[in-house]
Amino acid sequence: MTYLRTIGEVIGFLLVCAVVIVKDIVKFFIPKRYKMKSINGEIALVTGGGGGLGRLLSLRLANLGAIVVVWDINEAGIEETVKLVRAAGGSCYGYVCDLCDREDIYKKARIIKEEIGKVTILINNAGIVTGMKFLDTPDKLIIRTMDVNVMSHFWTAKAFLPTMLENKKGHIVSVASLAGQVGIQKLVDYCTSKFAAMGFDEALRMELENEECNIHTTVVCPYFIRSTGMFDDVRASYIPTLSPNVVADRIVTAMRCNEKYAIIPGYLQILLALKWLFPWPCVAMFLRGLVQDASPSHPSFVTAATINTKEMCTVPLSKDQNGAVIHQQLTRRVSSSERKP
């Protein structure tokens, strides 16, 4: 009987898989504009919203009718984002929040609930990179990377998820990286944190799906993004670095379509699958050829004594963050598919 039961379970599993695959194939051919959910009136929190990708996301979310809340350690950057969003006709609020400080995260979360309302969209976008060889990286910088890139995901989710569960509605977006799928030299701490962010998203999704609570999660894995101050001078071949506008559009679309994963650019999904098919020497040779140096301009060594505590959690802005080119990108007209419903 046990043997027959096992066979029955396997057959049942395969039948369910077949149905799911057919449904996904049908969904694939449905235009995305018909699959996108409205976020009009939702309260969306964006970490690292004081510049770069976070600012672009804030503008797009506000344009779709969401009430945007921006968290960052950079007060001037927050003020600029709030000003840009409001100038575009959106609703935006900014709070200085130290993502390395769990208690500060919980405190600011309580303030938002009291002053603005219940957050239903959480976008963990803040990220930092040291770009140094592992043994040259001071301990404090490694701790900072883990605090901002992954540990803050735990604390923000614990701060806002209970309310989402009460209302049986919510969406958590984790901005990871393709460096969370493959290892890159000079990015040991960064890759580790992004691998962890992916694991966090997948495990949390499993729990939430088991609860059947209508709370969705999306993990985003982009290639190197230019004009964000993190990988502007990366030496890479074959695949061009990404425009932050393209990445922002893709993140918003993935969230509105309740996608589980968003690999940017999408064709890299094939290369990621090949990683497990080819022998390691082939994979390593390809990765070394693809990314010669992730941080060529970074000094080879920085002593821990030179690190200012207050600067530990500051997400660096690009040199031309406030320049005309970036300002035009930030204030450009959003595509028709991304207008308010």
Instruction: Report the SS3 class of residue 35.
Output: coil
Which of 92, 84, 100, 99 is closest to 65 using CA atoms?
92
Kindly report the pTM of this predicted structure: 0.84
**Is 50:81 a contact under the CB 8 Å cutoff?**
yes
pLDDT for position 286: 85
Handedness of CA 298, 244, 124, 75 (dihedral sign): positive
> Above 50 in pLDDT, residue 13?
yes
**Residues classed as catalytic:** 190
The DSSP symbol for 39 reads -
What's the mean pLDDT in 142-167?
A: 96
| CB hemisphere CA count around 341 (13 angstroms) | 13
Peptide bond into 265 cis (omega under 30): yes
Strands, DSSP E only, in 73-159? 91-96, 121-124
35-93 pLDDT, tens digit per residue, is 899 999 999 999 999 999 999 999 999 999 999 999 999 999 999 999 999 999 999 99
| Confidence bin at 172 (pLDDT 50/70/90) | very high
CA separation for the pair 160, 214 (Å, rounded): 15
273-282 pLDDT, tens digit per residue, is 888 888 989 9
CA separation for the pair 58, 53 (Å, rounded): 9
Instruction: Write down all domains in the chain, each with its CATH number in brackets.
Output: 36-313 (3.40.50.720)
Q: Are strands 121-124 and 43-47 parallel, antiparallel or unpaired?
A: parallel
pLDDT for position 297: 67
pLDDT for position 303: 29
Q: Is 153 exposed, middle or buried (0-12, 13-18, 19+ CB in 10 A)?
A: buried
